[in-house]
Amino acid sequence: MGSFLGVDISKATFHACVLTDRGEGAKAFPNSTNGFKQLSAWLKNRLAVDVHCCMEATGAYWEDLALYLHGLGHRVSVVNPARIKAFAQSELLRTKTDAVDAALIARFCKSQIPPPWTPPQPEIRVLQALVRHCEHLKTTRAQQIVYAQSTGSPTVITSSMRKLIATLDDQIAQVEREIEQHFNDHPDLKGRRDLLTSIPGIGNTTAALLLAEIPHIDLFTSAKAVAAYAGLSPRDRQSGTSIRGKSRLCKTGNARLRKGLYMPALSARRFNPVFKAFAERLAAAGKHNMLILGAIMRKLLVLAFAILRSGKPFEPNHA
């Protein structure tokens, strides 16, 4: 029997639990390169062989450890936290601590055998870091603008805020230039971006987001799988004769993708003839506005998936 390693990771530390034919072992390590080495030595001391490691895709704290373990040749799985939560509910688990969660993830790994995680290519990891940093700067800028416009602030504060906003503007412009240079340095990546921007409603910013947040889009087997990855699959709520809830987006997926596709969906609804007609059909069927926008977001993502797989730009007259 192989070994199953569950990891519950946070900013400073991570808790590990390994299941082997010799029993169960648990230990906490610092979330650092030194802690990763300690984990590797600990696994060897426990005679853990054919290790299958599993962790949750929460934040960015898991990425360095996942890359380290993958580099050692271990099978690594990174799963949606909703799956771990549902597994805990199936066990009627009532206690939640880091150590308990690590053991839970190890049992989930042994029971469900989740698929292996493939690390993105180096140029995709750099693009992802740049795109996320740019998004963070823009979010900070929007917050500071709201704060600067609040009534009653002394002149000295509003002046300071204006300077801060100007600095953020410069930083955003600098990062956007670096993103553009990154595409220029990788012609294949730039070609994929150009395919995406052929879709009316998707500009350079959204195209960069799609390529960064779906690093292995070519590995998806269907458009439904891509939509599910972004949490854009419809969720129906019906039971018997008494429950007839409205259809909603499941939202069990990449929140950055959903956020990034919202404004392009608004643009596509207005300026893309294909999506404009699609929205009109849904409106005529009595669908509410947010459901229509969600459907356009999903259709945009599915269209992007199809175009990247075909290698051909968008053709509005193609049925």
Q: Identify the pLDDT of residue 188.
A: 93
**pLDDT under 50 in the chain at which residues?**
319
Rounded-to-integer distance, Cα 158 and Cα 135, Å: 24
Q: Identify the pLDDT of residue 314.
A: 85
Phi then psi dihedrals of residue 76, to 5 deg: -120, 135
Nearest alpha-carbon partner for 303 in 201, 209, 171: 201
Tokens 């007259």: give the residue: 317
Sheet containing 75-79: order of strands: 23-30, 13-20, 3-9, 51-56, 75-79
Domain extents for the chain?
A: 3-112, 122-185, 217-310
Q: Identify the pLDDT of residue 232.
A: 84
In b/e form, how buried is each residue of 83-104, taking b as 16+ CB within 10 angstroms?
bbeebbeeeeeeeeeeebbbbb
Rounded-to-integer distance, Cα 4 and Cα 22, Å: 12
Over residues 233-265, the pLDDT tens digits come to 766 666 665 555 566 666 777 888 899 999 999
Q: State whether CATH 3.90.550.10 applies to domain 3-112.
A: no
Contact 57, 81 (CB under 8 A): yes
Q: Identify the pLDDT of residue 126.
A: 95
Rounded-to-integer distance, Cα 50 and Cα 314, Å: 45
Contact 203, 264 (CB under 8 A): yes
Q: Identify the pLDDT of residue 319.
A: 45
- pTM beyond 0.85: the answer is no
